[in-house]
Amino acid sequence: MTGSGVVVFVMRRFAVAVPLLLIISFGVFALVHIAPGDPVRSLLGARASDPATLAAIREHYHLDDPFLIQYFKWLSKVVQGDLGVSILGNRAVTSTIADRLGVTIFLSLMSAVLVLGLGVVLGAVGAFRRGTRLDRAVVMFGVFGISSPAFVTGIFLLYFFGALLHWFPIFGPGTGFLNRAWHLTLPALALAISVMAIVIKITRAAMIEELDRDYVTFARARGLSSRRITFAYVLRNALIPVVTAAGLIVVGIVSGAIYVEVTFSLPGLGALTIDAVQKRDIPTIQGTTLLFSVFVVLVNLATDVIYMLIDPRIRFGRVES
Amino acid sequence: MNTHVASTGHENPLLRVEGLAISHGAVPITTPLSIAVERGETIAIVGESGSGKSLTARAIAGILPPGINATGTVTLDGISLMGLSETELRKIRGFRVSMLMQDPFTMLNPLMRGGDHIDEMLRGRPEFASRAPRAAEVKRRLAEVGIVEDDVARRMPFQLSGGMCQRVALAAALARDPELLIADEPSTALDVTTQAEIIRLLRRIQRERHMSLILITHNLRLAFSTCERIYVLYAGSLLEVGDAAAVERQPYHPYTLGLLLSEPPADIRVPRLVAIRGSVPQAADVVGRCGFADRCDWAKQICRAGKPPLVARDIGRLTACVRQDEIQCELDALRTAALCAAPATPRRDETEGALVRIDALVKTFDGPRGHPICAVKHVSLRIMPGESVGLVGESGSGKTTLGRCLVGLETPTAGDIRIDGIAAADFGAMAKADRARVRRTIQMIFQDPYSTLNPRHSVGQALSEALRASAGAASASTPERIAALLADVGLSAAYATRRPASLSGGERQRVAIARALAVKPAILVCDEPVSALDVSVQAQVLNLFKRLQAEHGLSYLFITHDLAVVRQIAERIYVLYLGEIVEEGPTERVIDDPQHPYTRRLVESIPRSANQHAP
């Protein structure tokens, strides 16, 4: 398969993703109507229900049109980047989201780097020291992390490193890169610990399998350096299953961010969503849900493309023996 | 314990292994053994599965799997390798000792291009610091192993054939110009014709480089034709050591002779192969006695009294048989008797009343992106009642597809199959009664007996299930009938309660045969039925096939890549090449006087040495 083949592959994946996104958008739109009570009431929120306001809402949301027409009118606005107006504060949903996005992206990226970096290193340590106390400690740490929810680990970290030791701030997102990283270390760690077990387990199992392979033995028999064997042979082959799971992990991190933001009172998208749910702010819920869904679809698309790029057996297609 | 050095008179061999004992925890894998390799010398370590030959090779290179320990000394050119650290060993491996492994498809890194395996070996050298001279050197190294196509260096391992992978791996193993190469069954996983090419290549390179070579193999004939000295390893102990020619002329140990006679000869048909009874034991089970005693016709009390030491009996000849001088005449006599040709089988020329008729059979499969792959093209063949027919071909020849079409596991794309007069091309379209009759007429034996037996069913359950499917199923599957079936394949009735996991490979194949016989078939389709078995066991099973044919008047379609096997079992053979029959005729005529170039290539690839018939 050549460069154009890769393009064809990506296009084909996109073609599958578009209908999926349409279905999701339909579900998100239907939220207004699924929510208990009259949609006008839902959209009214805390405003006074005088007839003029109600009529304005009916007019603004095309509520007198048939359902499908409403959907298409809403969708065409969404495509143009207009997610409607938040019921609270009367701001455009897009600008509320834009305000909050930074913290969530920073938190998720930081924790993804921690999960993948630390997880792969710990998994590799376990595999190389298979059966030793260190190996068992690594596995135990993973099991411990996955069994305690992120908000519990978060509260523990806050108490220990924030309140007792005062190493890290206990609330607020910080400003500027370094200050923000300092502020977000504990939340990112809490988030990372809760999903790291998956990466540790996959890396460890894959590396143990790789260490037993004929080509690793053959590489040793040829006197290659242990660094070359570890990186070009063992790690590179073992990372293929990790990459295939990375999509799942990133999605897990972003959904975990919702709890962690609330725990650490960070003004991120997760906190915004919780807030919106509590206040029945339907346009904001629609906006954040849609954004999360698009993100999940795109992450999966990216995983497929990366998987194809790193495994030549997929890229070239197997020859028939 | 004996640590006698099998020296050839030289004082300073390149490699000297003394008292090398390998164990897995407290379980011994080999007893202390000694090996010496001169510069430029080729030796063979011959042994069946479980003999410890591969671990011995890995112990020499210092790459034993975790949990396996070795004691003793390994000295390479005066340097003791056993005490060296991993870092120091790395300077020896590749540069002085290198290793080639069995499976070409798993030996190369699947994410690295073929040429990069050679390239990475060259990087440390200053003259190859930059890319261009390194690429030129990779090209030169590939040319040495017979690869002149430019794009092989750029291809990924999964895009190369087995033979190509093995060549690339050989070039990579030799890239730092080692003085000693250990080749562990380098040709076993390959097709017959490719096997011969790889062995020729190894010998040529060994001679050109004046390199020492340790060939690890289970094939005694290959060892005789390739190596100067032979070490015969059995259940972890060396049983015989000597010059290849001398050992071939007159084996001193009953096991060596047994192994030699167990290998079916390709040039004559013998009435009955001399098989070694039983199967290969574990080293741990034969501590403190001759490992071969339980299978030996000459074993006496003395053989079980202690582990017989390997002692010199002649110049350059050692044997671990304590009774060698007493029994040598009998060994020689057995050898002479075993090599008598069987009387020629009566020719049958009639083609009327054939049990199986295949006419113009075609089978195509859907390939990638809808391109059809034609596995079998216009094949016609006949099998007469009571006749044994060989179907010879390499992987990809379509021989297995043809066999599967015959028993209804595949439906042919076109063509006609008649079994006992019933049209059986499409099992789905047949009347129910006809289908049942055809299934009772034709049965199949597979290569791997283990995967065809349900591990949760005892042997008795497997057989009674098959008996219930036989004609007139009203008759219950009594223990007597199961015992009779087991007796038919040479197993005692006690086997009925055992499960497949507790059986050896040969016993499993016997059970598979018994199960096929339960429905009293007229013909067995045997797909490589002995190629997964140890040589000494293979002869037993071949003898069983011969006996069953005589007793039950069975027909066989014997699908195999091994000409020596068909020589023993088949009256007529068809040679299949890329889905087409290129040659057919009586076995003797096709093997002794092959007409088609491909058949000639197959015949030439059988390893043989000059003194094949000596005494």
Q: Is B121 on the interface with A (CB under 8 A)?
A: yes
Q: Are A305 and A177 in the same domain?
A: yes
3-class DSSP state for residue A251?
helix
Residue at A179 is within a domain: yes
Beta-carbon contacts of residue B539 (< 8 Å; ≥ 6 apart):
B261, B262, B263, B264, B273, B274, B275, B276
pLDDT tens per residue, range A122-178: 999 999 888 889 999 999 998 888 888 888 888 888 888 888 888 888 777 777 788
The answer on A68 and A135 residing in a single domain is no
Residue A89 domain flag:
no
Q: Report yes or no on A288 lying in a domain.
A: yes
Q: What per-residue confidence (pLDDT) applies to B374? A: 86
Residues of A in contact with B159 (CB under 8 A): 316, 319
pLDDT for res B32: 92
Average pLDDT over residues A17-39: 81
Same domain, A40 and A171: no
pLDDT in tens, A291-321: 888 888 888 888 888 888 888 777 665 433 3
- Cα distance from B285 to chain A (closest Cα, Å)? 27
CB contact, 8 Å: B106 with chain A? yes
Alpha carbon of B148: minimum distance to chain A alpha carbons (Å):
21
Q: Which of A37, A53, A79 is the last residue of a domain?
A: A79
How many C-beta atoms lie closer than 10 Å to residue A294's C-beta? 15
Report the alpha-carbon angle B307-B311-B313, nearest 5: 135
Neighbours of B197 (CB within 10 A): 18
Interchain contact B156–A (C-beta under 8 A): yes
Quote the minimal CA–CA distance from B264 to chain A in Å: 29
Residue ranges of chain B with pLDDT lower than 70?
1-11, 342-351, 367-370, 471-477, 608-615
Closest CA of chain B from A310, distance in Å: 8
Among the candidates A31, A49, A79, a domain finishes at A79
- B524 pairs with which residues across the strands? B443, B556
- Asked if the Cβ–Cβ distance from B110 to A219 is below 8 Å, we say no
Contacts of A2 (CB under 8 A, 6+ apart): none
The whole-angstrom distance between residue A15's C-alpha and the CA centroid of its chain comes to: 22
| Complex-level ipTM | 0.81
Q: How confident is the model at residue A47 (pLDDT cuts 50, 70, 90)?
A: low
Please state at what angle helix A282-310 crosses helix A93-128, rounded to 10 degrees. Answer: 40
- CB proximity B30 to A under 8 Å: no
Determine contact: A234 vs chain B, CB below 8 A: no
Give percent of chain B with pLDDT exceeding 70.
93
Query: What's the CATH code of the domain at A208?
Result: 1.10.3720.10
**DSSP string of B159-202?**
GS-HHHHHHHHHHHHHTT--SEEEEESTTTTS-HHHHHHHHHHH
Nearest to A222 among B58, B121, B368 (CB): B121
A244 interface with B at CB cutoff 8 Å: no
Spatial separation of the C-alpha atoms in residues A40 and A87, rounded to whole Å: 12
Q: What domains lie within chain B, and their CATH numbers?
A: 15-96+178-338 (3.40.50.300), 110-175 (no CATH), 356-451+519-604 (3.40.50.300)
The answer to whether residue A249 is domain-embedded is yes
Q: How far apart are CA B256 and CA B238, in angstroms?
A: 11
Chain B positions in Cβ-Cβ contact with residue A223 (cut-off 8 Å): 89-95, 98, 176
Which domain-ending residue is among A46, A79, A112?
A: A79
- 8 Å CB contact of A218 and B99: yes
Q: Is B111 on the interface with A (CB under 8 A)?
A: yes
The set of residues, in sequence order, having a beta carbon less than 8 Å from that of B132 and lying 6+ positions away, is: none
pLDDT tens for each residue of A62-112: 777 788 888 888 888 888 888 877 777 678 888 888 888 888 888 899 999
What is the spatial distance between Cα B183 and Cα B206, in angstroms, rounded to a whole number? 11
Question: For chain A, how many structural domains are there in total?
Answer: 2
pLDDT of residue B505: 84
pLDDT at B476: 62
Q: Residue B425: what pLDDT? A: 85
Whether residues A74 and A138 fall in one domain: no
Task: Indicate the residue type of B510.
Answer: R
- Shared domain for A164 and A284, answered yes or no, is yes
Look at A228 and B94 and tell me if their CB atoms are within 8 Å: no
DSSP A107-142: HHHHHHHHHHHHHHHHHHHHHHTTTSHHHHHHHHHH
- Give backbone dihedrals phi and psi of A319, rounded to 5 degrees, phi first: -85, 145
A139 plus A248 within the same structural domain: yes
Is A221's CB within 8 Å of B91's CB? no
pLDDT for the residue numbered A318 = 43
pLDDT at B11: 65
**Shortest alpha-carbon distance between residue B460 and chain A (Å):** 37
**Contacts A–B by Cβ distance under 8 A:** 90
- Domain hosting A12: range is 3-79
Residue A137 within any structural domain of the chain: yes
Q: Give B158's contacts in chain A (Cβ within 8 Å).
A: 313, 316, 318-319
Q: Which residues of chain A are within 8 Å of residue B180 when distances are taken between CB atoms?
A: none
Within a domain: residue A85? Answer: no
Q: At B480, is the secondary structure helix, strand, or coil?
A: helix
Q: List Cα–Cα distances, B592 to B171, B273, B347, in angstroms.
A: 36, 20, 16
**Contact B118/A at CB under 8 A:** no
Residue A215 to residue B106, Cβ atoms within 8 A: yes
Residues B532 and B549 sit within 8 Å (Cβ to Cβ): no
Are residues A241 and A274 both part of a single domain?
yes
Residues of B in contact with A215 (CB under 8 A): 106-110
In a shared domain, residues A224 and A135: yes
Average of per-residue pLDDT across A36-42: 70
Give the closest of B156, B159, B172 to A222, CB-based.
Answer: B172
Kindly report the nearest CA distance between residue A275 and chain B, in angstroms. Answer: 48
Angle made by CA atoms B88, B92, B97, in degrees to the nearest 5: 150
Q: State whether A64 and A146 are in the same domain.
A: no
A84 in a domain, yes or no? no
Q: Same structural domain for residues A65 and A101?
A: no
Measured in whole angstroms, the distance separating CA B88 from the mean position of its chain's CA atoms is 36
- Both A62 and A110 in one domain: the answer is no
- Chain B's closest residue to A237, CA to CA, is B111
Contact B158 A320 (CB under 8 A): no
Is residue A154 located within the same domain as residue A302?
yes
A87 in a structural domain: no
CA-nearest residue of chain B to A317? Answer: B368
Which of B393, B368, B390 is CA-nearest to residue B381? B390
Measured CA to CA in angstroms, residue A271 lies from A28, A81, A97, A264, B318 at distances of 19, 22, 11, 10, 83
Residue from A216, A222, A224 to probe the interface with B (highest B Cβ count within 10 Å): A222
